[in-house]
């Protein structure tokens, strides 16, 4: 069960509300979410993944799964955000109605894990403990006195896992040094395993308001092929609380399964820099970056070439519409920058990434004028957009790659590369890619109001009418 | 006479080969070039300006002059670059053929000058000295022990000017402190005044190869309305030498006219930062910048929002296609960055700014695909592009603002906002703005070759056929 509801605000400006860090290809071509799914796909006895995410992320979760050829997954959508406690409870409730014996392996979608030899063996030991009724948490064997993570203190062994003695909040530096030397402390990775039934029973005793909310959300849920949309009334009644606080800090059944793998929560630009390969001066470059006489710095840019001359310990992150420059040591404070931008109502820089994924493909905004807008649309082979119309804008489409099938007021036209068509204001239209290669279209919108919400969907394959 | 041939490489990435710093609106709406022209337009007895520039800059010089309503200017174009000595000699030669009594006031187009009360009085004194045969150079009264400028040591007074005793190269710090205390040293501003005839006579004695080249370049020149295109054979035969070395360091007639005005050569991002207004933390922002807990830094960005979190003494300069981040103290080394980019054949980042000026308006490249390109065209009211055709590309035009008059193979169509037209490969076409407001067009080019040189001009108002 993969938790994909995080917002990753500390990785602004790449991470946006509509495309948080777990969906970004931050290491290689696949996103952290996809890598998380792939890492565990071939474990003996594991089922198709369940994914918990916000309602708005459903399509990009489905797209991401399709992109790595995963079938049979179940997506559970949260109508509002209530932290991991209620999310896991609701998903466990759904699962247990399906399979009362189910054992859940819960993990975040936005961590980078490099499995070592013992990784899968440790997982199996943890699953066995979970099947026997233990609440299993996973602890990373620490490699340095990190002050940015919470710790788990382990007690005596119980087979291959150890009893949890206590949870320790992010420690001050001297404390972290002592804990590293002590040898019984592990980083709290936020991975868990438990029997779904046992989890719900324990939760019902510690926090009955959570299990009640989960049951109500399930009773009201809209269930479709591979998707469970939790009911809003029930789910919203749950408290906003993490599974750590709701359960693990209270139960007597908690055990910790140590993991020796390389792990990062990719929780800041500094943490990201640590996960990347560096040049001989300690610089990590992702995309178009040229460090000149610079050291221990991070450059991330997809579009513009970034020249960093004579800088040290600096992060330079360039998105199309926003650029962040800050010392790596200040990376935690990006959260405050995001808060400041929110106060200043700069939602344009927070909510929407310039490139937007849709179930049929997606688009990039390339120019915003006062009464016009230019977009670069991508339509996946075989997919089509909803049948739609706009009240305030007309559109011009120029096909620059592939073949388009365009329907306007019932009339179907096929356009090939270099052909264009006009969609008058109010015309009922649809764009489809009947071909075998990606369709690329330049869309020029004109009108007095160009918001994304001026769209009347008359027919849609994804239930968005 | 305004020298507008500089390349301003230290102000990369804003300054590009096709749009060097003097043509950028770096302070307010007008460019440094325009401000230079405006500053002296109303001096008693001064004539319409002469401008010396590279052949490639002629149209943007004419546009810049038109933009501030200057008429009657003469543009002298250099076929190759030979530094200020030959450029001034050729222009003086042209002027003296026109008016043997002419007194020249020569000044760079890329300096920022804030005239004080005595400024124009000092100029008049200098012009009087120049008319009497002196070679006048201007010296800025120094305000601090600057090591980045050359100095002029002044001797005894001769009326309101002083005899030049010597020229001093950029001094070491302790030397600069002594010179400041001494009181007889001035910053060499690179402004000059002399009688054109006297200049040519002196130059003929010290450097006859320069005056010979200037005469040949004039004899071969193509002379049009307001423009003198110097002949290449003659002009290229001149040595590459500054007027300082060619004349001022040799003549016995040099005097210096002190100026107490605020002056900057805007020679680096640090110098630029010094010319700007700062917030209470010493940050200067031009365009879209948000310093958070940052100090003494410079942010320049037109398009993307730049957040600078916790930085000090840093320059962050964001152009559409390239971003420079460097400590203000390393601003001089941007020249080396440009050299590095040249070595790596990154001419895309050096030669052409994403926004290109043309005599009819200009365009911005907004998207480059492998077989397509999208541009945002601007056509000034009353102007039209050349009558042209392309061998390798078709074009779609969508009018997003204003009115377009489009000619295709002899047929004329008028398009208003929201209308589009297709220009097939090989069609002879022309775009004009017959209206009273700026015309904006989105151009989508498709084809296998999309270089700017695939253009056959059949008719052109600016002699570009």
pLDDT surpassing 70 at residue B76: yes
The two tokens of residue B418 are: 């929201």
Q: Does B325 sit within 8 Å of A314, measured CB to CB?
A: yes
pLDDT surpassing 90 at residue B240: yes
A279 in the same domain as A255: no
In three-state secondary structure terms, A174 is helix
The residue among A118, A7, A93 whose CA lies nearest residue A56 is: A7
Nearest CB to B333 within list A13, A309, A369: A309
B291 in the same domain as B202: no
pLDDT surpassing 80 at residue B66: yes
End position of a domain, from candidates A290, A318, A343: A343
Q: Does A400 sit within 8 Å of B444, measured CB to CB?
A: yes
Q: What is the Cβ-side half-sphere exposure of residue B134, based on CA atoms within 13 angstroms?
A: 23
Q: Does B322 sit within 8 Å of A307, measured CB to CB?
A: yes
Given the DSSP bridges, would you call strands A185-195 and A135-140 parallel, antiparallel or unpaired? antiparallel
A378 in the same domain as A336: no
Residues 271-310 of A with CB under 8 A from B: 290, 292-293, 301, 303-310
B393 in the same domain as B323: no
% of chain B with per-residue pLDDT over 90: 81
pLDDT surpassing 90 at residue A13: yes
Chain B closest-CA separation from residue A142 CA (Å): 30
Q: Does A309 sit within 8 Å of B394, measured CB to CB?
A: no
Asked whether residue B310 is assigned to any structural domain, the reply reads: yes
Q: Does A320 sit within 8 Å of B330, measured CB to CB?
A: no
* Runs of H (alpha helix) within A261-377: 269-275, 334-343
Q: Does A422 sit within 8 Å of B422, measured CB to CB?
A: no
Chain B closest-CA separation from residue A349 CA (Å): 8
Chain B closest-CA separation from residue A418 CA (Å): 6
Reported as a single tens digit per residue, the pLDDT across B109-140 is 999 999 998 999 999 999 999 999 999 999 99
Contacts of residue B420 in chain A, CB cutoff 8 Å? Answer: 396, 420, 422, 444
Instruction: Give, in degrees to the nearest 5, the angle at Cα B205 between B202 and B206.
Output: 90
Distance CA B60, CA B41 (A): 19
A397 in the same domain as A288: no
| Backbone φ, ψ for residue B361 (5° rounding) | 145, -105
pLDDT surpassing 90 at residue B73: yes
Q: Does B292 sit within 8 Å of A308, measured CB to CB?
A: no
Chain B closest-CA separation from residue A210 CA (Å): 40
pLDDT surpassing 80 at residue A228: yes
In three-state secondary structure terms, B355 is strand
Residues 370-399 of A with CB under 8 A from B: 371-372, 374, 376, 394, 396, 398
Chain A closest-CA separation from residue B303 CA (Å): 7
Residues 436-465 of A with CB under 8 A from B: 440, 442, 444, 446
The two tokens of residue B405 are: 């008059």
Reported as a single tens digit per residue, the pLDDT across A391-426 is 989 999 999 999 999 999 999 999 999 999 999 999
Asked whether residue A223 is assigned to any structural domain, the reply reads: yes
In this structure, what CATH number is given to the domain that contains residue B39? 3.90.550.10
Distance CA A34, CA A268 (A): 20
| Average per-residue pLDDT for chain A | 93
In this structure, what CATH number is given to the domain that contains residue B433? 2.60.120.10
B228 in the same domain as B117: yes
Please state the three-class secondary structure of B59-72 as a single string: HHHHHHHHHCCCCC
% of chain A with per-residue pLDDT over 70: 99
Q: Which of A346, A365, A392, A398 is the best substitution to test chain B (most B C-beta atoms within 10 A)?
A: A398
The residue among B143, B127, B245, B250 whose CA lies nearest residue B186 is: B143
Q: Is there a contact between B266 and B249 (Cβ–Cβ < 8 Å)?
A: no
Reported as a single tens digit per residue, the pLDDT across A27-64 is 988 999 999 999 998 888 899 999 999 998 998 899 89
A290 in the same domain as A228: no
Our count of domains for chain B comes to 3
Residues 210-269 of B with CB under 8 A from A: none
Chain A closest-CA separation from residue B31 CA (Å): 24
pLDDT surpassing 90 at residue A98: no
Distance CA B364, CA B376 (A): 5
A69 in the same domain as A119: yes
Reported as a single tens digit per residue, the pLDDT across B281-336 is 999 999 999 999 999 999 999 889 999 999 999 999 999 889 999 999 999 999 99
pLDDT surpassing 90 at residue A148: no
Q: Does B323 sit within 8 Å of A301, measured CB to CB?
A: yes
Helix (H) or strand (E) holding B92, with range, is helix B84-98
What is the maximum span of chain B, computed from C-alpha positions, in angstroms?
Answer: 74
Q: Does B442 sit within 8 Å of A400, measured CB to CB?
A: no
Q: Does B316 sit within 8 Å of A371, measured CB to CB?
A: no
Q: Does B318 sit within 8 Å of A292, measured CB to CB?
A: no
| Backbone φ, ψ for residue A228 (5° rounding) | -125, 110
pLDDT value at residue B279: 97
pLDDT bin (cut points 50, 70, 90) of residue A372 is very high
Nearest CB to A305 within list B303, B322, B401: B322
pLDDT value at residue B462: 66
pLDDT value at residue A464: 64
Asked whether residue B464 is assigned to any structural domain, the reply reads: no
Reported as a single tens digit per residue, the pLDDT across B324-357 is 999 999 999 999 999 999 999 998 888 877 777 7
Residues 5-24 of B with CB under 8 A from A: 13
pLDDT surpassing 70 at residue A462: no
Given the DSSP bridges, would you call strands B404-408 and B411-415 parallel, antiparallel or unpaired? antiparallel
B213 in the same domain as B79: yes
Asked whether residue A464 is assigned to any structural domain, the reply reads: no
* Runs of H (alpha helix) within A83-170: 84-98, 119-131
Contacts of residue B310 in chain A, CB cutoff 8 Å? Answer: 326-327, 329-330, 333
B406 in the same domain as B287: no
B287 in the same domain as B256: no
Contacts of residue A318 in chain B, CB cutoff 8 Å? Answer: 304, 318, 323
In three-state secondary structure terms, B41 is coil
> What is the 3-state composition of chain A as percent helix, strand, coil, each rounded to the nearest 5?
25, 35, 35
Contacts of residue B324 in chain A, CB cutoff 8 Å? Answer: 306-307, 309
Reported as a single tens digit per residue, the pLDDT across A352-366 is 777 777 778 889 888
- Provide mean pLDDT across the span B16-34: 92
The residue among A306, A344, A342 whose CA lies nearest residue A324 is: A306
In three-state secondary structure terms, A222 is strand
Q: Is there a contact between A303 and B303 (Cβ–Cβ < 8 Å)?
A: no
Q: Looking at chain B, which residue has its C-alpha nearest residue A417?
A: B446
pLDDT value at residue B7: 87
Number of neighbouring beta carbons within 10 Å of residue B174: 10
B63 in the same domain as B171: yes
Contacts of residue A420 in chain B, CB cutoff 8 Å? Answer: 396, 420, 422, 444
Q: Mind giving me the DSSP string for A350-391? A: TT--SEEEETTEEEEEEEE-SSEEEEEEEE-TT-BPPEEE-S
The two tokens of residue B264 are: 């900057």
First to last CA, chain B: 30
Q: Does A323 sit within 8 Å of B304, measured CB to CB?
A: yes
Asked whether residue A67 is assigned to any structural domain, the reply reads: yes
Asked whether residue B348 is assigned to any structural domain, the reply reads: no
Given the DSSP bridges, would you call strands A298-309 and B322-327 parallel, antiparallel or unpaired? parallel
- Provide mean pLDDT across the span A290-309: 96
Asked whether residue B240 is assigned to any structural domain, the reply reads: yes
How much is the ipTM here? 0.86
End position of a domain, from candidates B264, B289, B316: B264
Asked whether residue A408 is assigned to any structural domain, the reply reads: yes
Contacts of residue A400 in chain B, CB cutoff 8 Å? Answer: 369, 371-372, 444, 446
Q: Which of A290, A293, A309 is the best substitution to test chain B (most B C-beta atoms within 10 A)?
A: A309
pLDDT surpassing 80 at residue B228: yes
Domain that holds residue A396: 359-459
Distance CA B431, CA B434 (A): 10
Q: Does B334 sit within 8 Å of A309, measured CB to CB?
A: yes
In sequence order, the 6+-apart residues with CB closer than 8 A to the CB of B14 are B21, B24, B26, B300, B317, B319, B353
End position of a domain, from candidates B317, B343, B369: B343
Distance CA A256, CA A161 (A): 6
Say whether residue A366 is in contact with chain B using an 8 A CB cutoff. Answer: yes
Q: Looking at chain A, which residue has its C-alpha nearest residue B399?
A: A446
Q: Is there a contact between B313 and B296 (Cβ–Cβ < 8 Å)?
A: yes
Q: Does B346 sit within 8 Å of A324, measured CB to CB?
A: no
Say whether residue B46 is in contact with chain A using an 8 A CB cutoff. Answer: no
Q: Does B318 sit within 8 Å of A398, measured CB to CB?
A: no
pLDDT value at residue B464: 64
In three-state secondary structure terms, B458 is strand
Q: Is there a contact between A340 and A349 (Cβ–Cβ < 8 Å)?
A: no
């Amino acid at each position: 069960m993969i938790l994909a509801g995080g917002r990753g605000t500390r990785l602004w400006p790449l991470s946006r509300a509509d495309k948080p860090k777990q969906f970004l290809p931050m290491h290689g071509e696949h996103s952290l979410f996809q890598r998380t799914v792939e890492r565990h796909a071939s474990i003996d006895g594991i089922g198709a993944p369940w994914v918990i995410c916000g309602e708005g992320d459903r399509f990009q979760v489905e797209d991401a799964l399709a992109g790595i050829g995963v079938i049979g997954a179940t997506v559970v959508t949260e109508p509002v955000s209530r932290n991991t406690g209620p999310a896991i409870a609701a998903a466990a409730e759904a699962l247990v109605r399906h399979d009362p014996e189910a054992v859940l392996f819960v993990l975040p979608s936005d961590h980078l894990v490099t499995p070592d030899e013992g990784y899968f063996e440790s997982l199996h030991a943890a699953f066995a403990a979970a099947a026997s009724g233990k609440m299993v948490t996973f602890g990373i064997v620490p490699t340095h006195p990190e002050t940015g993570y919470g710790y788990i203190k382990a007690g005596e062994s119980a087979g291959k896992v150890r009893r949890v003695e206590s949870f320790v909040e992010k420690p001050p530096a001297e404390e972290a040094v002592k804990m590293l030397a002590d040898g019984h402390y592990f980083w709290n990775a936020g991975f868990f395993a438990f029997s779904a039934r046992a989890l719900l029973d324990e939760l019902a005793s510690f926090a009955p308001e959570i299990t009640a909310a989960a049951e109500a959300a399930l009773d009201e849920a809209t269930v479709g092929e591979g998707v469970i949309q939790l009911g809003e009334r029930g789910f919203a009644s749950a408290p906003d609380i993490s599974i750590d606080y709701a359960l693990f800090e209270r139960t007597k059944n908690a055990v910790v399964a140590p993991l020796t793998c390389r792990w990062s929560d990719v929780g800041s630009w500094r943490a990201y820099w640590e996960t990347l390969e560096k040049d001989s001066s300690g610089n990590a470059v992702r995309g178009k970056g040229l460090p000149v006489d610079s050291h221990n710095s991070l450059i991330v840019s997809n579009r513009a070439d970034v020249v960093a001359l004579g800088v040290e310990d600096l992060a330079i992150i360039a998105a199309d519409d926003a650029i962040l420059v800050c010392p790596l040591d200040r990376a935690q404070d990006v959260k405050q920058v995001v808060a400041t931008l929110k106060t200043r109502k700069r939602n344009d820089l927070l909510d929407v990434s310039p490139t937007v994924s849709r179930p049929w493909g997606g688009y990039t905004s390339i120019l915003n004028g006062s009464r016009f807008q230019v977009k670069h649309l991508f339509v996946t082979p075989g997919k089509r957009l909803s049948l739609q119309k706009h009240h305030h804008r007309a559109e011009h489409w120029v096909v620059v790659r592939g073949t388009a099938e365009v329907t306007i007021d019932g009339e179907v036209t096929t356009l090939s590369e270099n052909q264009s068509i006009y969609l008058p204001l109010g015309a009922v239209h649809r764009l489809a890619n009947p071909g075998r290669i990606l369709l690329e279209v330049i869309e020029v919108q004109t009108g007095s109001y160009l918001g994304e919400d001026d769209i009347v969907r008359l027919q849609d394959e994804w239930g968005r009418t």
